[in-house]
Amino acid sequence: MRSRLYLWVPLALFAFFAGVAGYMLTQEKDQFVESAMIGQPLPDFTLEPAYPGLPGASKADFAGGKPRLLNIWASWCLPCIAEAPQLEALKAQGVEIVGIAIRDRPEDVANFLGRYGNPYTRIGGDPISEVQLAVGSSGVPETFVIDSKGVIRYQHIGDIREGDVSTLLAELEKAQ
């Protein structure tokens, strides 16, 4: 049987591709969409209170003094229950947390806060995800570090785990 060398070229090319692809599969891949808003000032927004217990939120609330956290959450969101203790821990460290409740109802918000604790100083209701999209958040929950000039400094995607509390505190420190 004659077997010419060039007939092996397709196999060689494919083997090269498979090698690269296999290597890439073993690499950690950043699955999340980073907000392009990092380093940008917060967009202008004013949100009505999400429930009668706390004032609503606006861009002005982030001006002056110290860095704050902007927490995007919802009462219908299960990971938000999981991150509630971490938000309480951050509050205990003296962090001011402004919440934005996405597509929520006042009675559900009140119910959630009654059950899982209230770490927020203000909660704005965002019934059509308008502000959520404007700050570059693609899911619930997400948490942003906003410095005293109202500039977005850091984005945490997903629920805050115990290990993330120190990261967020460090980012808040950096944003001073």
- Residues lying near other proteins in the complex (CB under 8 A) are found at 1-4, 7-8, 10-11, 14-15, 17-18, 20-27, 29, 31, 44, 102-103, 128-130, 132-133, 139-140
Specify which residues 126 forms β-bridges with: 102
Nearer to other proteins, 27 or 176 (CB): 27
In the bound complex, what is the minimum distance in angstroms from residue 72's beta carbon to other proteins?
10
**Cβ nearer to other proteins, comparing 15 with 170:** 15
Q: Are 123 and 58 in contact (CB under 8 A)?
A: no
The distance of closest approach from Cβ of residue 137 to other proteins in the complex, given in angstroms and rounded to an integer, is: 9
Pick 22 or 163: Cβ nearer other proteins? 22
**Minimum distance from CB of 24 to other proteins (Å)?**
5
Residue 94 Cβ, how far from other proteins at the closest point, in Å? Answer: 31
Contact criterion met (CB below 8 Å) for 101 and 124: yes
Comparing CB distances to other proteins, the nearer of 9 and 170 is: 9
101 class by beta-carbon count within 10 Å (0-12 exposed, 13-18 middle, 19+ buried): buried
We find the least distance from the C-beta atom of residue 92 to other proteins, in angstroms, to be 30
Contact indicator for 101, 52 with CB cutoff of 8 Å: no
Is the Cβ of residue 117 or residue 127 nearer to other proteins in the bound state? 127
